[in-house]
């Protein structure tokens, strides 16, 4: 194949995912104990990409620390997007790090490994005109809706009316290197430069072809989406921990007490401890070096590394950030709940609670379904928490 380089856009915060993105960019949120970005890089490396250019910005050290200078023996060059001024602007930063045609992919969605190969093949067959991957989705109104005519893209509408589109822009492209000129020629909208604006201009001038992909395409827009994304990834077995039984993965040096139960699908990270009498799973990913005490129930939840869940606690439908502490007998009993984010209310979401990084929860505290707790907040023992708790706040009885 002619395309050897890929540019991955991984500079964005993902503001709707706060508080989980307080200390990391959206691509570093985990899906099955691996950053979403790692799933993306897998797809690129599987497709034979020989050089990875990762555009970093918001909280970039998290990306650089995790991946280092290579991923699966493919060298990574990091380029900095100092200000987050849109996807086109992000891509532009990679101009000098690339030569020849390039794959461009969003770093914040789990994609099907084969889809990158499909787009690259379509580019080779199409003689150099731009190619975009499209995929069928029920929630097309959340994304860029796409209409096709004979494989060529005729319409690209951001956040269209519900029901108007069935295909969306999957965020995987191949361009010739002159895409950078096209981006520079694109007028900025309110200072921002969206890659899709440039693509629309390309559509006017010459054809942008499409390739329809299938399989996994998992995005998290809101914090609770991570539960679904994790379930998808676990169901597909895209987990790096070693399989212990069907649907049960346990990382290196993890200790699961003989009287604890792991219910598939479940992934237990390296160096985790699961105490006696605890039941973990289904649909749970425990990050590395975290501790689950005795007689704990964890169900349909994502827990990030270095966290601790005290004896007798219940954690259902919850997303817990890094170094979260639940003391004994804390209770997150699970959804459904009406969740408010900014001025929007999302009804009947299966969400127990979202706890940002380093939230401290005292013994016996419990959570109303749908509670969102900002990073660094302290919840006193025995408190009942409902709605929003801002970061670094202290809640006492």
Partner 1 sequence: MCGIIGCVGRGERTLDTLVDGLERLEYRGYDSAGITLLGDDLGVRKTAGKIADLETLLDERPVDGHIGIGHTRWSTHGPPTDANAHPHQDCTGDVAVVHNGIIENYQSLRDDLSAEGHTFTSDTDTEVVPHLIERGLEMGDSPEAAFRNAIAQLDGSYAIAAIVGNEEAVFAARNDSPLVIGIGDGTASSDREYFLASDVPAFREYTDKVIYVEDGEFARLDSELAVTDSDDQPVDKEVHSIEWDAEETGKSGYDHYMLKEIHEQPRALRQCLSGRVDELAGTVNLDGLSDRSPSSVQFVAMGTSYHAALYGTHLFQQAGIPAQAFHASEYATATPPTGDALVIGITQSGETADTLSALREARSRGAETIAVTNTVGSTADRECDETLLIRSGPEIGVAASKTFTGQLAALNLLALATVESARTRRGVVPELRELPGRVQSILDDSNAAEIAEEYHDSESFFFIGRRYQYPVALEGALKLKEISYEHAEGFSAGDLKHGPLALVDEDTPVFAMVTGDDEVARKTVGNIKEVEARDAPVVAVTDGRSDAALYADHVLEVPETIPRAAAVLTNVQLQLVAYHVANLLGRPIDKPRNLAKSVTVE
Give contact residues for partner 1 (rule: CB under 8 A).
Answer: 23, 56, 59-61, 63-65, 67-70, 73, 76, 78, 80, 252-253, 255, 257, 270-271, 273, 275-276, 288-289, 291, 305-308, 322-323, 357-358
Query: Which residue, 51 or 59, is less far from partner 1 as judged by CB?
Result: 59
**Residue 291 to residue 6: CA distance in whole angstroms:** 38
Cβ-based nearer residue to partner 1, 295 or 305: 305
Nearer to partner 1, 56 or 377 (CB): 56
The least CB distance from residue 233 to partner 1, in Å, is: 22
Could you tell me the two tokens for 186?
């694109």
Paired tokens of 248: 């049960």
End-to-end distance of the chain based on CA atoms, in angstroms? 64
Tokens, residue 355: 């706890």
Distance CA 242, CA 228 (A): 22
Contact (CB, 8 A) for 198 and 88 = yes
For residue 390, give every residue at least 6 positions away whose Cβ sits within 8 Å of its Cβ, in sequence order, or none: 374, 377
Nearer to partner 1, 203 or 294 (CB): 294
The beta-carbon contacts of 243-247 under 8 Å, at least 24 apart in sequence, are: 247/282
What's the closest the beta carbon of residue 295 comes to partner 1, in angstroms? 13
Q: Token pair of 294, please?
A: 């005795």
Tokens of 134: 């499209």
Q: Strands 217-219, 109-111: parallel, antiparallel or unpaired by DSSP?
A: antiparallel
Angle at 295 between CA 298 and CA 285, to 5 degrees: 25
Looking at beta carbons only, is 291 or 301 nearer to partner 1?
291
Least Å from the CB of residue 56 to partner 1:
7
Rounded to the nearest whole angstrom, what is the least distance from the CB of residue 253 to partner 1 in the complex?
4
Q: Please, which residue, 289 or 314, has the CB nearer to partner 1? A: 289
Nearest distance from C-beta of residue 257 to partner 1, angstroms: 6
**Least distance from C-beta 54 to partner 1, angstroms?**
8
């Amino acid at each position: 194949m002619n395309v050897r380089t890929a540019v991955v856009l991984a500079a964005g915060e993902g503001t709707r995912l706060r508080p989980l993105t307080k200390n990391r960019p959206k691509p570093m949120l985990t899906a099955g104990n691996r950053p979403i970005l790692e799933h993306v890089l897998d797809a690129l490396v599987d497709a034979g990409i020989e050089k990875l250019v990762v555009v970093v910005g918001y909280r970039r050290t998290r990306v650089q620390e995790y991946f280092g200078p290579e991923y699966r023996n493919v060298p990574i060059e990091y380029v900095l997007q100092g200000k987050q001024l849109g996807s086109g602007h992000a891509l532009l930063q990679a101009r000098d790090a690339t030569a020849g045609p390039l794959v461009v992919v969003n770093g914040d969605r789990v994609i099907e490994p084969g889809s990158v190969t499909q787009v690259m093949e379509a580019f080779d067959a199409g003689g150099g005109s731009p190619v975009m991957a499209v995929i069928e989705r029920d929630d097309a109104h959340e994304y860029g809706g796409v209409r096709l005519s004979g494989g060529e893209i005729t319409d690209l509408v951001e956040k269209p009316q519900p029901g108007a589109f069935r295909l969306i822009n999957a965020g995987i492209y191949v361009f010739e290197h002159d895409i950078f000129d096209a981006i520079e020629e694109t007028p900025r909208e309110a200072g921002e430069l969206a890659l899709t604006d440039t693509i629309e201009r390309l559509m006017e001038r010459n054809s942008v072809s499409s390739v329809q992909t299938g399989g996994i395409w998992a995005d998290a827009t809101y914090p609770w989406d991570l539960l679904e994304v994790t379930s998808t990834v676990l169901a597909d077995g895209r987990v790096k921990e070693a399989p212990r039984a069907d649907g049960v993965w346990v990382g290196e040096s993890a200790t699961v007490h003989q009287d604890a139960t792991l219910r598939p699908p479940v992934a237990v990270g390296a160096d985790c401890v699961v105490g006696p009498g605890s039941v973990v799973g289904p649909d749970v990913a425990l990050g590395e070096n975290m501790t689950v005490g005795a007689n704990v129930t964890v169900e349909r939840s994502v827990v990030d590394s270095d966290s601790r869940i005290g004896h007798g606690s219940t954690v259902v439908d919850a997303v817990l950030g890094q170094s979260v502490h639940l003391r004994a007998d804390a209770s997150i009993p699970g959804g459904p709940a009406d969740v408010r984010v900014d001025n929007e209310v999302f009804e009947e979401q299966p969400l127990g609670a979202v706890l940002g990084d380093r939230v401290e929860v005292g013994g016996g505290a419990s959570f109303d379904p749908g509670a969102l707790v900002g990073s660094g907040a302290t919840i006193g023992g025995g408190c009942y928490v409902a709605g929003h708790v801002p970061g670094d706040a202290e809640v006492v009885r």
